[in-house]
Amino acid sequence: MAKPTPLSGFPEWLPDGRIVEQHVLDTLRHTFELHGFAGIETRAVEPLDQLLRKGETSKEVYVLSRLQEEDGAARSGSEKQLGLHFDLTVPFARYVLENAGRIAFPFRRYQIQKVWRGERPQDGRFREFVQADIDIVGAGELPYHFEVEAPLVMAEALGALGEIGLPPVRILVNNRRVAEGFYRGVGLEDVEGVLRQIDKLDKIGPEKVSELLVTECGATDDQAKACLALASISGSDVAVIDEVRALAESYGAVTELLETGLAELGALIAAAAQRAPGVVVADLKIARGLDYYTGSVYETVLVGHEQLGSVCSGGRYDTLASDGKNTYPGVGLSIGVSRLVSRLLSADLVEATRSVPSAVLVAVASEEERATSDAVAAALRARDIPVEVAPSAAKFGKQIKYADRRGIPFVWFPGSTGEDGAVGADQVKDIRSGDQVDADAASWMPSDEDRWPRVVPRG
Amino acid sequence: MAKPTPLSGFPEWLPDGRIVEQHVLDTLRHTFELHGFAGIETRAVEPLDQLLRKGETSKEVYVLSRLQEEDGAARSGSEKQLGLHFDLTVPFARYVLENAGRIAFPFRRYQIQKVWRGERPQDGRFREFVQADIDIVGAGELPYHFEVEAPLVMAEALGALGEIGLPPVRILVNNRRVAEGFYRGVGLEDVEGVLRQIDKLDKIGPEKVSELLVTECGATDDQAKACLALASISGSDVAVIDEVRALAESYGAVTELLETGLAELGALIAAAAQRAPGVVVADLKIARGLDYYTGSVYETVLVGHEQLGSVCSGGRYDTLASDGKNTYPGVGLSIGVSRLVSRLLSADLVEATRSVPSAVLVAVASEEERATSDAVAAALRARDIPVEVAPSAAKFGKQIKYADRRGIPFVWFPGSTGEDGAVGADQVKDIRSGDQVDADAASWMPSDEDRWPRVVPRG
């Protein structure tokens, strides 16, 4: 078999990279659980008709077939065609409906899983990547304060990664009610169309968006100008609310919907200023054009890495799911974990202190004495110290090299039996300093820094 | 949208079931890391030609296509057809070859991921399930002692789950060299064919296997009898080795290969008797017919749940992977996590102490005072206590019911402001006992038992 080559769009990490990813996942999970979110996993596949309910994403779906099928056997009528999920929202909505009778609402859940998109990999987009989602879903109703809470949980989760070297994040928030209220106030009815054009601002610039608003959404030059003026407003304190209202007044465009949206956005900005100062910014150009949000919308950039795009997005849906009897509104955000980890690694922002869990390599004097080394290892593990035993009874220099190559800080030498039959003391060597001291496997302990591999900012 | 129904073969758990699964995964991971195994993840897909290298499994593979493709666009020649991996061994072998220059050998890795098999779900078989694998792979060579170590790591990992109510396990071991040496010794050359028939013993019984040995493998009645006699031997101490040798002698079937195999099997049984007493049993009928093992083979049953089949299987490959220049021998085992968790849940062996992470629900006196409750929650979380805030300022009775329904043990009442403006002390209520006491969010701490949800044997 020839040496295989990587598949474009399907990232994999070497063991030290995986330590970084695992640390990120553990940190996110811990923060989510501190905030009372229950973890779930859903299957990787959904019936294709479910995945295609939103037409826009259809082109991204990987469809499954069994190899047998291709060999001629027809799929039985009862068996639905399946596709890999492309996000965690569609499966979560299905899970909520399927288990509605067994879940207590409002239901706070997190979900950390891989998703797949069949698109051609480009611009650092992946075909397989990990998302970490939180959502709060209500039965029938969901108070606005959850729209304040959800991005603040993400601010805390991403902030906790600052310790290992993740740059600070800025969460950009907007409110669909503000946008819709304003657009209708200036006389534009095709709200979705306008949002879709505004969403292109960062890509194609205001002039082209203005043209498109005129040609695609039937806006007058003045209406287009008003939309662009709204999109240009941003700020991290509540003054931004007054700025929007003043703009709307100048166009005679103050509507009830706008006022509702502004009150909501103002509450979010005010709470965020207190609970996560400097992190949350109202940015009136955030549109999330293709998604069916109805209230708050969120995007998140890494400061200094804005061109990476949003690493955590989401918003409020009035109808996350509906089964005819009940409607389930929800609010949530999704972190693009692979995008984040990929940047942490490729930009050399972080590193693992070693590539293996082992803090100690127990040396083996001879294959006949391997059981002695195994016993030392077992004694250390019993006190929760990660240990491996040397693979062969090579010369000690070679065994030390084995440890060094993996970043294992300590090599343990079981006491040897002298010619008089007396057993010498065990010794442990810190191979970084060369210090070697007597040690007892029943009591020796490495420092907290050395015990497990850690993830640290790259020096 | 109508209420969705589950997809057969794709298990999903409710939040409290997921807590059990997560605990199992965390315990396995911790044990693997204590033994110095580095975690990796591989992508979910492999090129189809890689997946089909072993013809036997071809019928199980899920093949992927992009929805676009189906709409007429032809796949470009450079783009390989992809399938979902059906185990973690094939992807690991590919990962080793792809990264051989960047990995230090022997390489100890664990890998915990979902795998997919397109077969019709039956007998509690899943189409999507989680496996937890450990393997040790060498470059060119891999000493036998790793064949002793690998099942003992699994014994420890599965033993650690005894705390939550997993029944004890019995790891059944055999050695291909013993079987092959014996079969050749009695004059049977179709070793693989014989192994394949012996593998059916538990399913169809000795009489039918004997018939098949005669009709399919060209055995005489006497040769078939010898094979069945070998398969009937089992035992957990080294006496079993003498028993096999005596049988072989009675057939004049002692070969060099048999002696090599017996020495290896004996070493494993002796080490296991010391390091995991009572867990490892030599069982000469273990064949693992369809797999390409060359030395030790392992299967594992849950005591009292033998009909569940093996929950942890594996063995030694002389050629896990090969790139023409180097050969990579390996030994490893794979735990069927979903099978294990499914049984733990369906047989009511374990339970989670609650269905949500929160130890505390902070009550909200009125929506105007929500910020006070949020501040209490933040103070508790800062000391690593999982907390959520009541979703609405309903009557306190209703808020207590919210906690009760989720198993949250404590409800926190922020001190209310009296008519004189004085702020009363915060109070915390243990809703199980009804005890309510003054408490300070800067110092109060629940018991270790209550702080996080735990998984415990079902009473």
What are the beta bridge partners of residue B315?
B297, B332
Give A293→chain B minimum CA distance, Å. 19
**How many residues in total does chain A contain?**
459
* Residue A316 near residue A296, CB atoms below 8 Å: yes
Give B209→chain A minimum CA distance, Å. 29
Interface mutation target, options A63, A317, A367, chain B, most CBs of B under 10 Å? A63
Rounded to a whole number of angstroms, the distance between the first and last alpha carbons of chain B is 40
Contact: B43, A374; criterion CB under 8 Å: no
Interface mutation target, options A20, A380, A388, chain B, most CBs of B under 10 Å? A388
Q: Enumerate the residues of chain A whose CB falls inside 8 A of the CB of residue B19.
A: 38-39
Give B322→chain A minimum CA distance, Å. 6
Contact: A14, B103; criterion CB under 8 Å: yes
Model pLDDT, residue B60: 82
Picking from B3, B21, B321, the nearest residue to A97 by CB comes out as B3
* Residue A195 near residue A178, CB atoms below 8 Å: no
Give B183→chain A minimum CA distance, Å. 31
Contact: B356, A108; criterion CB under 8 Å: yes
Model pLDDT, residue B251: 95
CA distances from B230 to A77, B209, B308 (A): 48, 13, 24
For the domain spanning A15-351, the CATH number is 3.30.930.10
Picking from A18, A102, A116, the nearest residue to B41 by CB comes out as A18
Contact: A40, B99; criterion CB under 8 Å: no
Closest CA to A38 of B161, B408, B245: B408
What count of other Cβ atoms lies within 10 Å of the Cβ of residue A315? Answer: 26
Q: State phi, psi for A394 to the nearest 5 degrees.
A: -75, 175
Beta-strand pair B350-352/B327-336: unpaired
Which residue of chain B is at minimal alpha-carbon distance from A48?
B67
pLDDT (tens digit per residue) in B335-387: 999 999 999 999 999 999 999 999 999 999 999 999 999 999 999 999 999 99
Chain B contact for A75 (CB, 8 A cutoff): no
How distant is the alpha carbon of residue A112 from its chain centre? 8
Contact: B40, A61; criterion CB under 8 Å: no
Which residues in chain B come in under a pLDDT of 70? 1, 54-59, 69-79, 121-124, 290-291
Ordered DSSP codes for B162-227:
GGGTPPPEEEEEEEHHHHHHHHHHTT---HHHHHHHHTTHHHHHHHHHHHHHHHHH---HHHHHHH
H helices present in A35-187, as ranges:
48-51, 67-70, 89-98, 145-160, 176-185
Ordered DSSP codes for A233-263:
-EESSTHHHHHHHHHHHHTT---HHHHHHHH
CA distances from B276 to B36, B152, B240, B299, B335 (A): 19, 7, 17, 16, 18
Beta-strand pair B410-413/B427-430: antiparallel
* Residue A251 near residue A205, CB atoms below 8 Å: no
A20: left (phi over 0), alpha (psi -120 to 50) or beta: alpha
- Residue A306: what residue type? E
Give A207→chain B minimum CA distance, Å. 33
Q: State phi, psi for B38 to the nearest 5 degrees.
A: -90, 135
* Residue B403 near residue B391, CB atoms below 8 Å: no
Picking from B94, B104, B356, the nearest residue to A4 by CB comes out as B94
B15-168+303-351 and B360-457 share one CATH topology? no
Contact: A39, B18; criterion CB under 8 Å: yes
Residue in the structure block whose two tokens are 């960062």: A202
Model pLDDT, residue B72: 45
Q: How far apart are CA A271 and CA A275, in angstroms?
A: 6
Q: State phi, psi for A350 to the nearest 5 degrees.
A: -135, 165
Q: Enumerate the residues of chain B whose CB falls inside 8 A of the CB of residue A274.
A: 371
Which residue of chain B is at minimal alpha-carbon distance from A126?
B43
Interface mutation target, options A52, A107, A356, chain B, most CBs of B under 10 Å? A356
Looking from the CA of B338 toward its CB, the CA atoms found within 13 Å total 20
Please, which residues 309-328 of chain B have a Cβ atom closer than 8 Å to chain A?
Answer: 321-324
Contact: B381, A357; criterion CB under 8 Å: no
Indicate the domain borders of chain B: 15-168+303-351, 360-457
Secondary structure of B157-176 as H, E, C letters: HHHHHHHHCCCCEEEEEEEH
Query: Which tokens go with B349?
Result: 């062996």
Model pLDDT, residue A72: 45
* Residue A39 near residue B122, CB atoms below 8 Å: no
CA distances from A199 to A192, A208, A213, A217, B179 (A): 10, 12, 11, 14, 68
How distant is the alpha carbon of residue B174 from its chain centre? 21
Interface mutation target, options B35, B81, B364, chain A, most CBs of A under 10 Å? B35
Model pLDDT, residue B71: 47
Spell out the residues 6+ positions from residue B55 whose beta carbon is closer than 8 angstroms to its own: none
Rounded to a whole number of angstroms, the distance between the first and last alpha carbons of chain A is 40
3-state secondary structure of B84: strand
Query: Which tokens go with B443?
Result: 């110092």
- The top-level CATH class assigned to A360-457 is alpha beta
Interface mutation target, options B53, B54, B66, chain A, most CBs of A under 10 Å? B66
Chain A contact for B76 (CB, 8 A cutoff): no
* Residue A285 near residue A234, CB atoms below 8 Å: yes
Picking from B36, B324, B357, the nearest residue to A357 by CB comes out as B36
Spell out the residues 6+ positions from residue A33 whose beta carbon is closer than 8 angstroms to its own: A39, A110, B357, B386, B452
Picking from A1, A14, A114, the nearest residue to B44 by CB comes out as A114
Please give the angle made by the CA atoms of A136, A138 and A139, to the nearest 5 degrees: 155
Contact: B271, A371; criterion CB under 8 Å: yes
Q: How far apart are CA A288 and CA A298, in angstroms?
A: 8
Residue in the structure block whose two tokens are 């789950």: B161
What count of other Cβ atoms lies within 10 Å of the Cβ of residue A435? Answer: 9
Chain B contact for A13 (CB, 8 A cutoff): yes
Picking from B21, B61, B143, the nearest residue to A67 by CB comes out as B61
Residue in the structure block whose two tokens are 């300590």: A410
What are the beta bridge partners of residue A410?
A360, A430
Domain B15-168+303-351 in CATH 3.90.1150.10? The answer is no
Give B42→chain A minimum CA distance, Å. 6
pLDDT in tens, chain A (459 residues): 677 888 989 999 999 999 999 999 999 999 999 999 999 999 999 999 888 876 555 568 999 998 876 544 445 555 679 999 999 999 999 999 999 999 999 999 999 999 999 877 666 679 999 999 999 999 999 999 999 999 999 999 999 999 999 999 999 999 999 999 999 999 999 999 999 999 999 899 999 999 999 999 999 999 999 999 999 999 999 999 999 999 999 999 999 999 999 999 999 999 999 989 999 999 999 988 766 899 999 999 999 999 999 999 999 999 888 988 899 999 999 999 999 999 999 999 999 999 999 999 999 999 999 999 999 999 999 999 999 999 999 999 999 999 999 999 999 999 987 778 788 899 999 999 999 999 999 999 999 999 999 999 997
Contact: A322, B116; criterion CB under 8 Å: no
Chain A contact for B337 (CB, 8 A cutoff): no
Model pLDDT, residue B75: 52
Spell out the residues 6+ positions from residue A394 whose beta carbon is closer than 8 angstroms to its own: A402
Q: How far apart are CA B162 and CA B347, in angstroms?
A: 15
